Amino acid sequence: MTKDFNNKVAILTGGASGIGLSTAKQLAAGGATVVIADIDDAGGDNALSALADSNKQHLYVHTDVTEESQVLALAQKVHSTFGHIDILLNGAGSPVKRSSFLETTLETWETCFAQNVRGTFLCSREILKYMVPAKQGVIINMASGAAYAGSPGSSVHYGAAKGAVTTFTRGIAREFAKDGIRVNALAPGAVDTPFHTNYSPQGFLEEKTKNIPIGRAASPDEIAALIVFLCSDGCPYLTGSTIRVDGGMFV
């Protein structure tokens, strides 16, 4: 197995922070050219600074993955700049806000599905248009342990959206396997990232940790290491799978 990503171009949506940023650093360290696609412009600039020592021409492209025109522009820009796209991490997404089911508004439901499902669909569709002729490529979709737990009382909408991501992953993996493209998903449990600062009440992560057999939340680097492995040539027969990486929380 090798984790040599020289001459590989990777697009990471939601790559300005958290798991996406950790993945960007690890891929860049392996020789990849990294494109950060995010709506956090300050975070995107900081991400490029963090990758500066890798001696590669990395890019930040402001991209709202729920907007078809912006996703189309992203795919065209990256392909015209580098000539190929080898890796896509669909990392953008959020629960929008936490709420009990009966307090979940239609706007929250639809925005959540737009960020997590529509965005994954649009980015995958546009990048696959370049991967298929090249007969190679890897797509990693970010699902969540919420897809298995259902997130009752706090974000059923998020669990439902991430469940859709797991089904979507199986579908496109089977459709494009003949084209030399592998598609898998990760379903992390509790991860110590700004996600919880932005979307969880105080003490939420600490309470979750009590139910994890390993006894702690994951670090972004631990999740990123698995993503990098899935992008490498170390698992050429693995496609269509959603891998739970949750410290035993949902086993």
Catalytic residue among 60, 148, 158, 237: 158
Number of other CB atoms surrounding residue 105 within 10 Å: 12
60 included as an active-site residue: no
Distance CA 172, CA 18 (A): 26
Do you know the residue count of the chain?
251
CA-closest candidate to residue 217, choices 243, 196, 234, 237: 196
CA-closest candidate to residue 61, choices 24, 12, 102, 108: 12
CA-closest candidate to residue 126, choices 199, 167, 69: 69
Question: Between the CA atoms of 218, 221, 223 and 227, what dihedral angle is there, to the nearest 10 degrees?
Answer: 180
Cβ distance 104 to 126 under 8 Å? no
Q: Which residues of 223-241 are buried (b: 16+ CB within 10 A; e: fewer)?
A: bbbbbbebbbeeeeeebbb
Element (H, E) at 208: helix 204-209
- Coil, helix or strand at residue 120: helix
State the catalytic residues: 158
